[in-house]
Amino acid sequence: MTAGSGELRSYGRRRGRALSARQAGLWRHLLPRLAVAGTAAELASPHRLFPPGISEVWLEIGFGGGEHLLWQAEQHPEAGLIGCEPFQDGVVKVLAAIAERPATNIRLYADDARGLMRHLPAASIGRVFVLFPDPWPKRRHWKRRLLSEATLAELARVMAPGGELRLATDIADYAAWMLVAVRRQGSFRWTAAAAVDWRERGSDWPQTRYEAKALRAGRRCNYFRFLRA
């Protein structure tokens, strides 16, 4: 299911280069075993997407190359992770990694995350990651930015009280945009006590390839943690 017809796309391309024969095989055969359709019936109890023993469900929106998603799944076998990514190249990267090293606690939604979120039950998600979303740098495109008050309100609905929301960006004005949107929406408490708290990732927050590229280019990254009130 895609985002609603009234919602602007918050991402760019859906596809890059043509898939190799191996990638096409993963898309045809492995993805259906891991895919979340995003229907209300399927998501009525998100824990059932995973094998027994999962204590909470986490959501990553726009997982890119999948480095963070795969790391969190390995480090936290008690958590079931739903990764959302509309870009085909990113999805096949994760499929290739899982083919080599199976992960039973990852499920994939290869589309706009907002289509899935609208069917998640209230207070069903324990942690959400939105790391380096498309900044849409031109002012006329800012309305396409994912981190709007509307999206934050939907995240607040699906997140459990005390759940953690992690946001990251290497674009200064988007960082300010995020903080303003979170404050206006009003459902999350920023945990930072000092500048170091948003200038360093912390030990439970691995680096992504996009972040590494930003740092090589000399851009400062911002790492925000918020708790659902």
Using pLDDT thresholds of 50, 70 and 90, give the confidence band for residue 2. very low
Q: Which of these ranges, 86-90, 143-147, 177-181, has the smallest mean pLDDT? A: 143-147
Catalytic positions are: 134
Task: Match domain 21-228 to its CATH number in 3.60.15.10, 3.40.50.2300, 3.40.50.150, 2.60.40.1840.
Answer: 3.40.50.150
| CA distances to 18, 45, 123, 207, 213 from 110, in Å | 17, 20, 23, 22, 24
Q: Which of these ranges, 73-87, 135-149, 186-200, has the smallest mean pLDDT? A: 135-149
> What mean pLDDT is predicted for residues 190-208?
96
Distance, in Å, from the CA atom of 41 to the CA atom of 13, rounded to the nearest integer, reads 29
How buried is 218 (Cβ within 10 angstroms: 0-12 exposed, 13-18 middle, 19+ buried)?
exposed
> The tokens 């994939």 sit on which residue?
108
* DSSP track, 52-110: TT--EEEEEE--TTSHHHHHHHHH-TTEEEEEE---HHHHHHHHHHHHHS--TTEEEE-
